[in-house]
């Protein structure tokens, strides 16, 4: 009786580890190369918990398809994430629409953000274009 239960538990654990490993591999292989973009943080109807940014400039012409579109900036370090809206402004309406320079990688096959259509952009470096609040995350 105990053997079938133990085998089921082992199978469940192995499936869980396999699922996690596959998603980790998929994430790592879907990141593009490092690019620099300039983007303006927006406030949308979905509320104050949004940190989507509208792309205004890209450093690599292969990413011109992002111009005028939203991205969802995130850090790769899930243990110490930066919530960009809290770091750069106090959630006041007059502080939205600030422009930032972001250096990072675009995740090719992801959709997130306010409309569930913005690709994730994993940020390694961020700078407000007035020269303040420079953060480096690796």
Q: What is the pTM of this model?
A: 0.62
**3-class secondary structure, 74:** strand
pLDDT tens, position by position, 87-120: 555 545 555 567 888 888 888 766 666 666 778 8
Residue 31's DSSP bridge partners are 107
- Is residue 53 within 8 Å of 39, Cβ to Cβ? yes
pLDDT tens, position by position, 43-70: 665 655 556 788 999 998 888 988 998 8
* Distance (Å, whole) CA 125 – CA 76: 11
* Distance (Å, whole) CA 137 – CA 64: 25
The CATH number, out of the four listed (2.40.50, 2.60.40, 1.10.3470, 2.40.10), of the domain defined by the range 33-136: 2.40.50
What are the structural domain ranges in the chain? 1-30, 33-136
Contacts of residue 98, Cβ cutoff 8 Å, sequence gap at least 6: 40, 41, 88, 89, 128, 129
């Amino acid at each position: 009786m105990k053997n079938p239960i133990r085998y089921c538990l082992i199978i469940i654990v192995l499936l869980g580890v396999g699922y996690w490993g596959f998603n980790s591999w998929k994430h790592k292989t879907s990141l593009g190369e490092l690019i620099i973009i300039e983007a303006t943080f927006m406030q949308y109807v979905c509320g104050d918990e949004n940190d989507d940014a509208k792309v205004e400039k890209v450093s690599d012409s292969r990413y011109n398809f992002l111009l005028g579109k939203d991205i969802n900036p995130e850090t790769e370090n899930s243990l110490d994430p930066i919530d960009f809206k809290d770091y750069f402004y106090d959630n006041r309406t007059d502080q939205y629409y600030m422009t930032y320079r972001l250096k990072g990688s675009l995740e090719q096959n992801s959709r997130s953000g306010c409309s569930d259509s913005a690709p994730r952009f994993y940020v390694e470096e961020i700078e407000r274009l007035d020269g303040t609040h420079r953060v480096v995350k690796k």
